Amino acid sequence: MNVIMQFMKRNYKILLVVLALSVALLGFSLFPSKKESDPEKDKLLIELLTFVIEKGHYSPAAIDDNFSKGVYKDYLNALDPSKRFFLQSDIDEFANYETQIDDQILNKDLSFFDLTYTRLMQRMDESKSYYKDVLAKPFDYKADETFNADYEKIPYCKSTKELKERWRLQVKLSALSTLVEKQKLEEDKKKNTEAGKNETPKSFEQMEKESRESTLNSLNDNFNFIKDLDRNDWFSIYINAISSRFDPHTSYFAPNEKERFDLSMSGKLEGIGARLQKKNDFTEISELISGGPAWRGKELESGDIILKVAQANGEPVDVVGMRLDDVVKKIKGPKGTEVRLTVKKQDGTIKVITIIRDEVEIEETYVKSSVVEKDGYKYGIIYLPKFYIDFEDQNSRDAAKDVAIEVERLKNEGVQGIVMDVRDNGGGSLKTVVDIAGLFIEQGPIVQIKSAAGKKEVLYDRDSKVQWDGPLVVMINEFSASASEILAAAIQDYKRGVVIGSKQSYGKGTVQNVIDLNQFVRGSTYGDLGALKTTTQKFYRINGGSTQLEGVKSDIAIPDKYAYLKMGERDIENAMPWDKIDPANYTIWDKQNNFEQAIKKSKARMQANSQLQLIDDNAKWLDERNKENVFSLNIDKFKAEQKALEEKNKKYKPIADYKNEFVFNSLPYELEAMNKDNVLKEKRERWHEGLSKDIYIEEAIHILNDLQMENSKGLSNKLKKEKVVIKS
């Protein structure tokens, strides 16, 4: 989940904490050179993190036995969530530490971590033979067996024999699922007489063997990924089990994770513009980023295997078998520098490709818009995937500047209403959400923030200019969090627009700061220590209520498939509580006074909409299905279960097949770009196709139309009255 961030320079409390830490940690200023996984570095990290959290967290939990029990549970669940590595005897041994972790944290004692890490490596190594032995021979699919996938409730295995049996059943379920799918494909071929003429049908034995091979390859890929993890990666899991007990959004960023976080916030990087993936020991190009240097060069292609990497005129370094993160580090680099890749093309030829690195923008991060027509009116859709910003470069793109540009472009197209779509938007920069909300009001408070000391700060839009004063709809769902909730709450409190979507948004009402841990240690030879993201404040609506746990409740709640599943902040064990403060001083928007009529019409439409009723029914069914965890491993029973599910799913097929009445189009500037960029064209066509199947966007447009029509009536009546006055 992305977070709301503030510049540290705006938070006097954090500055005081930083100053105090800098003084308190002078004793850590000079250390002897150590290898990367030195336990002394780990001890330093624990001391740094707990000290920073205790001094800077909004409401730090006491590090006591209850805290210790929470860390113990979360950490073991993170290490072995499906209970397929540890034995009950391991857990019995670990349990001696259940109430000692708090003492170990305070004493910088790593014995619990060392024990669990060593044992996990041992158990993982042992488990490789379990699945390989099982998949070496055919399964008996006539045996009446079941597998229970309720990992929270099933116990740990008491013996190696029992653990091997659990592996056998789990692997059998995976192979059985693949086998049944292969049989379906074979049956489809038989029905297609043309295909049947040209292909020899596969026997059951062939398909069974292929299913085992496919399962083996998947498990091997999984273990190859695990093999790439080192002790530091596992220690990060332990550190995060500690930090997340303070609240769900306090976490440790190892150096690589901090870099990825910065990338997600800014939406840009410096490199070649390619996405990589690991395939066994090889690094493969999975996608070229549109507009990036690799894409512009037209030599590198998806599917190419990278064998060597060289910096400019330097010697090529063999990257076969290297960790993916390490390969990425060698390929990335500053704008204007040269990298040479030795790649194996899909036809088997070997080629050296030279690329000059450049700044690459991740297009999926950024805002985009579309135009649609209804009843002679034009409306604009603005989709904002996150509230992005580059804190290091004030002149770079940020969400607020980009949304303002899109609004102007839509105005130039003559739109008479705008939908702001922040569904699935997990948050981002606090500054950008204040600026974006300010585009739709004259001026006034947007959000209130309270620190641990009780000091309240109100963030204002101080620009009296209104970028858009027409009808407005804000779309949210269960995954709209943080900054998305601030935007929706402000629009709702001002009565500036109608909020539609899920019953309520995610419910994250806390503010996090990312604190670089390196600033506290002078002359360290340990390398990059990473960063800590910790909760420093809570934010509140301008009406005084918190969005924590409760989220933002939609003015018009529309059924969706996740409505009954536990997925919000309120469902997390150690989430911070809801509360409220005094409201800010604000003036309700008075230029759109027909919300009630529009909401009433929308609710009437929804009651009569069989598609929405079907979606609600499907949501209830998904909730029930989510509670079913026992699967038959008898092929006949498994097929019968799958057939029953398929029959049930037929009832819900109209949900996927649904198509609304609208046609969505890109703006002129983008149409021009799409003519030159087939990748962008394909992405926009996919987006527009998705919009044309989106019943929620359809309802948003109906609401805009109702608001617009009521506005038109109001204007017409006003003009009539003025004429009457003139005549009289």
For the stretch 48-71, pLDDT in tens is 998 899 889 999 999 999 999 999
Contact 601, 706 (CB under 8 A): yes
Q: Give the other-Cβ count within 10 Å of 165's Cβ.
A: 15
Q: CA–CA separation, 514 vs 523, rounded Å?
A: 22
**In contact, 402 and 382? CB cutoff 8 Å:** no
Region of residue 213 (left: phi > 0; alpha: psi -120 to 50; beta: else): alpha
CA distance 504 to 320: 48
Q: What is the pLDDT of residue 693?
A: 95
In this structure, what are the phi and psi dihedrals at residue 590, rounded to the nearest 5 degrees? -115, 10
Please, what is the Cα angle at 115 between 113 and 117, to 5 degrees? 65
Cβ(300)–Cβ(371) under 8 Å? no
Q: Helix (H, G, I), strand (E, B), or coil: what is residue 82?
A: coil
Three-state DSSP state, 457: strand
* Length of the chain (residues): 728
Residue 143 CA: distances (Å) to CA of 60, 139, 632, 633: 54, 9, 10, 7
- Rounded Cα gap, residues 272 and 343, in angstroms: 14
- Position 713 scores a pLDDT of 55
CA 317 to chain centre: 34
- State whether the Cα torsion 168-173-179-180 is positive or negative: positive
Listed as ranges, residues in the chain with pLDDT below 70 are 1-37, 193-199, 262-268, 280, 363, 710-728
pTM: 0.83
Catalytic center residues:
482, 493, 508
pLDDT of residue 198: 64
3-state DSSP call for residue 628?
Answer: coil
Terminal CA-to-CA distance of the chain, rounded, Å?
64
Check residue 419 and give its pLDDT.
98
Angle made by CA atoms 426, 428, 433, in degrees to the nearest 5? 105
CA 546, distance to chain mean position in Å, is 23
Taking only the tens place, the pLDDT of each residue in 468-487 is: 999 999 999 999 999 999 99
Give, in order, the Cα–Cα distances in Å from 71 to each of 75, 100, 138, 567, 598.
6, 10, 42, 21, 49
Q: What does the pLDDT read at residue 524? A: 72
Which pLDDT does position 716 carry in this prediction? Answer: 45
- CA dist 321 and 319 (Å) reads 6
Sheet holding 498-501, edge to edge: 368-374, 377-383, 418-421, 472-476, 498-501, 556-557
